[in-house]
Structures are given as C-alpha cells and as structure tokens.
Amino acid sequence: MPDLTPDDIYRHEPMPQSQDEARARHESNRAAWNEGAAMYTAGIDEAIAFLKAGQSNLHPVERSYLAPLLPQVKTAIHLQCASGRDTLSLWNEGVPRVIGVDISDVHIANARQITAALNAPAEWYRCDLLDTPHELDGAADLVYTGRGAMCWINDLDGWAGVVTRLLKPGGYLSLFDDHPASWLFNLEAETYQYDNIDFFNHADSGLGWPSTYIGDQAGPLEQQSRKYECLWPIARIVQALLERGLVLRHLGEHPDPYWEVFPNLKPELRGKIPLTFSLLAQKERA
C-alpha cells in the first residue's frame, strides 16, 4: 500500500446527502469497529468479573435522571451497545430484559461471550441500528444510548425514527453523550485550541483512534478501515426527536466527561466548557 497522506488520515467530508450514502458510511464504520473492538476483546475477563460482582457502569449523570425510572423498566434496548458492558449494567441495575444492538460483528460476539459467562438473559442483534428488526417495535420501556454514539450516526432523522418505533407508548429515550462544543477544539492540545470546525455543518473521516481510548490496538494505521463521523448540534438532535412526536423531559449540559477526553489540557481549564450532555425524551401514551 502507498504511504498515507495527511488527507488519508483525517479530512473534512460533506454531510451525507442520502440514506444510501449514510448506510455506506456505516458499513465502513462497521469494518473500523471490528478493528477497534479488539480493545474490548482484550477486556472481556475484566468485564465478566465486573458484571459478576454486580457492578454497574451507569454514569452519575445518567443515574441522576434514570434512578427514579429504572424500577418501572421491564425492557431496555441499548442502541450501539458495543461489547455489552453498559447493557448488562442495566441488567445489574434490575432491568429484567436487556437487548443490545450494534453494527460490529466483533462487539456482538464479545457480548455473547460475556452473556454466556454470566448466564444472563440478554439478547443481541448485529445490524446497522437503522435496520433494527421490526420485531422489536414497541418493545422498549427504555431506549438507552450514548457515550460515544451520536457521532457515528450519519442519518439523524433515520435514527430518531428507529428510537421512536422501538419505544412503548410512555417509554423513554436516555441519551448521554459527548457535547458537540467539545468537537470544536484540538483533542491533544494543552489549551482550548479552535480546530477549524464548522459547528453547524461538520462531518469528517479518517484513520486512527484517540490515544486515551483505543489507541494503536486497532492495528497498523495503513491497514485500518475508514471511520465516518458527524457533528450533531444538540438542537438538531432535539428537533429530530420532537418531529417524531417525542416529548422532551430533561436536557442537561455537563462538565463531566465519561472518557479521558483532552488528556493534555491544563488543569485550570477543566470544567470551563461542557464535555457532555444528557437528554430524556418520552413517547406519549396512546
């Protein structure tokens, strides 16, 4: 393979112009996530021990608004469930039926392995979330997602439609994710350094993973698959959900990270911009 150029490693892309284009980008992301999931495969034993000990990965921000709801949740569907640690945390939180959906073959194989070790009654679907099977329509008291999910969605309206069809009347969507403002700045810099991002119209593609996340565990850069991401302003996400008839119940912006973002930032600058947001939306009762 010829040497990689800077453009191969990172470039701005037009926003996807059609559902077909979004799906093609998702397929490339599937291949990339099969590589990136190696980091999770290496952590399977630790994940089993964590979950066997009855622990939960629920973030304190999520707990603040989900705790009153969880006792009523009989079925939770986790969109973009990765290797299932967060899905099975919901089971440890007392949700009797948990279902995970993810595009990555390796992640779903990992989730099945963890489930077998726990003898957990979890169900897993490997598919583009846009193709989540219709047999799950109306099944969810809770659709749970986030923590690195929205950036991979290349069809926001399609995503909002899937969320809505999966929910029971009265069911909730919980979304806790990276704040789009955090995209504006260079991830590796010591200060907030504007990274030439158009907040209102930004998609990109590239190779490689953040050093504090998957790093070089996805294999040599020149053999990696291309990842396609989009920046979705919170207003666009909320609007997509409102247009599907969901009712906004909670919206929060937080300085609290859920991963080691901006690892080199000067300590005095921490907490000055929102790193995450949280959202709870409800499908109206019939």
Ligand X SMILES: C[S@@+](CC[C@H](N)C(=O)[O-])C[C@H]1O[C@@H](n2cnc3c(N)ncnc32)[C@H](O)[C@@H]1O
Interface residues toward ligand X, by CB under 6 A:
26, 29, 33, 80, 82, 85-86, 101-104, 107, 128-129, 147-149, 152
Q: Which residues contact 90 (CB under 8 A, 6 or more apart)?
A: 56, 58, 70, 73, 76, 78, 98, 142, 144
Q: Does residue 218 contact residue 29 with C-beta atoms inside 8 Å?
A: no
Which residue's CB is nearer to ligand X, number 104 or number 224?
104
The distance of closest approach from Cβ of residue 10 to ligand X in the complex, given in angstroms and rounded to an integer, is 18
Q: Is 110 left (phi over 0), alpha (psi -120 to 50) or beta?
A: alpha
Of 253, 246, 256, give the one whose Cα is nearest residue 58: 256
Confirm if 251 and 278 have CB atoms less than 8 A apart: yes
Q: Which residue is nearest to ligand X (CB)?
A: 148
Least distance to ligand X, CB of residue 101, Å: 6
Please say whether the beta carbons of 116 and 146 come within 8 A: no
The C-alpha torsion from 156 through 227 and 276 to 255, rounded to 10°, is: -160
DSSP summary character for residue 122: E
Min separation Cβ 110 and ligand X, Å: 10
Q: Which positions ≥6 away from 142 have C-beta within 8 Å?
A: 66, 69, 70, 73, 75, 76, 77, 90, 95, 171, 172, 173, 174
Residues 6+ apart with CB under 8 A from 20: none
Q: Pick the closer one to ligand X by CB: 128 or 141.
A: 128
In the complex with ligand X, the residue whose CB is nearer, 82 or 114, is 82
Measured from the CB of residue 43, what is the shortest distance to ligand X in angstroms? 10
Angle at 53 between CA 49 and CA 55, to 5 degrees: 100
Is the Cβ of residue 156 or residue 246 nearer to ligand X in the bound state? 156
Name the residue nearer to ligand X (CB basis): 85 or 244.
85
Minimum distance from residue 47 beta carbon to ligand X (Å): 9
> Which is closer to ligand X, CB of 89 or CB of 282?
89
In the complex, minimum distance from the CB of residue 139 to ligand X, in angstroms, rounded to a whole number:
17
Minimum Å distance from CB 83 to ligand X? 6
φ, ψ of residue 241 to 5 degrees: the values are -75, -40
Comparing CB distances to ligand X, the nearer of 146 and 171 is 146
Closest CA to 175 of 41, 80, 104: 80
The nearer residue to ligand X, 34 or 269, going by C-beta atoms, is: 34
Shortest Cβ 107–ligand X spacing (Å): 5
